[in-house]
Every structure is written in C-alpha cells, then in structure tokens.
Amino acid sequence: MSETPPNTLQYRFDGPEDAPVLILGPSLGTTWHMWDRQVPELTRQWRVFRFDLPGHGGAPAHPAGSVGELTGRLLATLEGLGVQRFGYAGCALGGAVGIELALRHPERLASLALLAASPRFGTADEFRRRGVIVRTNGLDPIARSAPERWFTGGFAAAQPAITEWAVQMVRTTDPGCYIAACEALASFDARAGLGSVGVPTLVLVGSEDQVTGPAEARTLVAGIPDARLAVVPGASHLVPVEQPAAVTDLLVRHFSTAWQPAYDTATGQTALPAAMVQPVLAAPPQPAPVAEIAPAVPAQGTHAASDPYDTGLKVRREVLGDAHVDRILAEADDFSGDFQELVTRYAWGEVWDRPGLDRRTRSCVTLTALVAGGHLDDLAFHTRAALRNGLTPDEIREVLLQAAVYCGIPAANAAFRVAQRVVREETTPQE
C-alpha cells in the first residue's frame, strides 16, 4: 500500500466488490484487527471496510485533534474510492465518528450501530490528564492497564494471548496521535443533537463495561429516535473481541433488517415505509430500561454570541479544567462575581485567545510571572494548565530555572516545591 495522504486514513476492504459497503470503526488504542472475528460472517452480505486511526496499527502519524476531523478524513478516503453510501458500526471513539456522521452527513449513512459508545465520553479533564501521562511517561502505563479497562477479569485470565495482544497494540501506537485522540474525546459532546439522528440505530454495550457502560448506552437510546438497545452479558469495553459471536449476530440482524434505503429525489420517498426499516434485537428479552436522559446544554445566559465572555469561558475550561473552573464559579457570590466575569472576559476571552502566542508559550510566560510575584496558589493550578497545554515536566523545570536567575533563588525555591508536587500528582499513572 502506498503512503497514506495526511487527509485520509489507512484502510482495507474485505468481501465481494459488488456488495453494499459496511464500515467498521475502531476504538482508541486498537487497530482494525479488533474486528477480525466479525469479518468472515459480515462479508457474506457486505463489502467490509475497516480503517485505522492515525498512528495506530502502523498508520502514518498525522494527528487528528477532533472527532469532526477524523470523520472528515474518513469521508475523504471514501470519496477517493467512490463510496457514497454505507452502513457504519463503530466502537467507542469509532462510535463517536458514527454519531458525527449521523449528525453532519446523514445522506451518506444507511444504518448505524454504536458499540461501547456515549454522547460524551467521561469528562474533558479525564482525557486531558491521560494525555499528560502519555506525554510524560509514554504509552507503557496506558498499555499495561488496557486489559482491565477492555476485558472482564475472567476473560483476561483465560485468554493471555489476547490480553498480550491488547497490550502490544496500545504500546505500538504513536504517542502524539494517541494524545490527539484523547483531545478529540475530551472535546466531543453530542448530547444536544441526538434527537436529530434519523437513521436506524442499534446501541450495543457489554453488561460489565466500566468505561462506557449500560448507563451511557441508555442515554443514547433515550436521545436517538427509535434506537434499540442490546446488552451483551459477560462482556466489557471491547465487546467485539470478548463476545465475538454475540456481537456478530447482533450486527448481522441489525444491518440485514435496518438498512435504510436511499432517498429518491424524484418521488420524494424512500423505497420502503419507515415501519419496515426498524432494527431487530438479538439480545435475550430484558426488562425495559429506565432511560437516563442527558441534561440539556446550559443556556449561554445574557452574553451575546460575540461577547468575549463566551470565548473566555471555553478557553478557561480548556486550559484550567472543568473541575477547577466549576469550583471557582460556584464560590463566586454577589461580592466576587463581577471580578470572575472580568477575569473570564478579558484575561481568558481576549488575552489568552489572541493568536500571537500559542498556549504553550503563554503558559511559560504565566509561570514566570507567578514565580516573580510569589503567587504560589495560582502557580499550582497553572502548572497543571501548562501540562495540559503540552509542556513536559522537563520544560517546566527549565522555565523555573530561568525564573530563578531573574526572579531570585528564594522565589524559585518555593516555586519548585509547588511545581514538583503538582507534576507528581498529574503524571503518576493511576492504578
């Protein structure tokens, strides 16, 4: 295969050339081989298209920092191959791509299956901290913990070869592309748009999934019109690997019965009435779940769309983290509220958002100024921000050494103690 252009994805086809195309999208840290056990059966009816995420499975390391960008690369790849309409099944990050397709490019999508997916994957802070850990320690800590995130304990113990395969799959991923994918998940939030998904959708989840489990699946089902839920017993996050036969059966049944026919622009109709294109469940009958509807996106308040407050709040959250910003804003009252609004609007909405310096450089300047002023409390959370903005612990150390020369040894001594504590907290992998 020739070199993959930066705006496309590494891919492979299996199955008859004249069959309808079914795309299988991978999870973060995996390759297209996570779908190997599904391919023999699926290729009886479909031409199966699999792709690797950037920097995964030997794919060129061209990082993509958003789900929208990944989706754009997938569509560019398909355009080059002449594929216009397709079914899509995606796992986790691959599922996020499926949601993006349904929301932004519904005319391309015949039917959809979302596995181990969510309209919002955890919190932005969690994924950005994972990026800090990878930037500092490499992918080995993430790789070693992958089996416990992806598989049930019994499966991991009984299948040591598959467990080792999972570890090596993560370990051989490009770190920069992994970090960019974490950023893509950190910024992904499709909760407000689920109601506009108009293709037949199967939501499939492992009963033991501790990453994106049944609660997240039910949020998807509650939000997507006429979506169907299938819970696979005895499976965790990588449900296609852990329970391949059950997943294959569910996908075959769903895509066989729910393939949405193309819209006929001449007649203004589809070839089949809507009642005939609903998905069929293959899971055993279960009590109807109580749907957990995601909270509505909060209103923007009285600030106009062009007000730098809105930009400032977004930048402030991206740099400092949701938890910190939520705490600061919750503590604001009638006395301090105006000050917090000023900081958000002018410091974050105007200065931090200016294009003249990137965020890494702004973090260097900020750390130096805080050392000079002796503002150790602010230094602590801006050290966390510097790590999130891409500085390594070695680079932060160099900034503090530079500050020691120009701001004084005592000030730098105190700063090193604060920064050392924060770096240890933020870069130590969680067990």
- The pTM assigned to this predicted structure is 0.76
Residue 87 near residue 19 (C-beta atoms within 8 A): no
Asked whether residue 3 is domain-assigned, the answer is: no
| Domain identity same for 326 and 270 | no
| Domain identity same for 191 and 325 | no
Q: And the tokens for 75?
A: 């569509």
Asked whether residue 248 is domain-assigned, the answer is: yes
Supply the CATH number for residue 168's domain.
3.40.50.1820
DSSP lists the bridge partners of residue 48 as 14, 22
- Compute CA distances 203 → 87, 121, 161, 283, 332, whole Å: 14, 15, 29, 11, 41
| Domain identity same for 87 and 206 | yes
Domain count, the chain: 2
| Domain identity same for 148 and 21 | yes
Structural domain span for residue 221: 11-277
Q: And the tokens for 367?
A: 């750390």
By residue count, the chain amounts to 431
**Separation of alpha carbons 270 and 268, rounded Å:** 7
With CA atoms as reference, report the closest residue to 428 among 126, 121, 134: 134
Asked whether residue 1 is domain-assigned, the answer is: no
| Domain identity same for 236 and 170 | yes
* Backbone dihedral angles phi then psi of residue 208, each to the nearest 5 degrees: -105, 15
**Separation of alpha carbons 133 and 127, rounded Å:** 10
Residue 23 near residue 88 (C-beta atoms within 8 A): yes
Supply the CATH number for residue 343's domain.
1.20.1290.10
Q: What is the dihedral of CA 136, 426, 399, 181, to 10 degrees?
A: 50
Asked whether residue 38 is domain-assigned, the answer is: yes
Asked whether residue 284 is domain-assigned, the answer is: no
Query: Along the 431 residues of the chain, how does pLDDT read in single tens digits?
Result: 456 677 899 999 999 999 999 999 999 999 999 999 999 999 999 999 999 999 999 999 999 999 999 999 999 999 999 999 999 999 999 999 999 999 999 999 999 999 999 999 988 888 989 999 999 999 999 999 999 999 999 999 999 999 999 999 999 999 999 999 999 999 999 999 999 999 999 999 999 999 999 999 999 999 999 899 999 999 999 999 999 999 999 999 999 987 766 544 444 444 333 332 333 333 333 333 322 222 333 334 444 445 789 999 989 988 988 888 999 999 999 999 999 999 999 999 999 999 889 888 999 999 999 999 999 999 999 999 999 888 889 999 999 999 999 999 999 999 999 999 999 998 888 65
**Separation of alpha carbons 23 and 21, rounded Å:** 6
Residues 6+ apart with CB under 8 A from 122: 185
Asked whether residue 404 is domain-assigned, the answer is: yes
Asked whether residue 295 is domain-assigned, the answer is: no
**Separation of alpha carbons 259 and 15, rounded Å:** 18
CA of residue 40 relative to chain centroid, distance: 29
| Domain identity same for 231 and 135 | yes
| Domain identity same for 124 and 178 | yes
| Domain identity same for 273 and 399 | no
Residue 190 near residue 99 (C-beta atoms within 8 A): yes
Residue 175 near residue 200 (C-beta atoms within 8 A): no
Per-residue DSSP letters for 6-63? TTS--EEEES-TTSPEEEEEPPTT--GGGGTTTHHHHTTTSEEEEEPPTTSTT-----
Supply the Cα-derived Rg of the chain in whole angstroms. 24
| Domain identity same for 371 and 323 | yes
Asked whether residue 301 is domain-assigned, the answer is: no
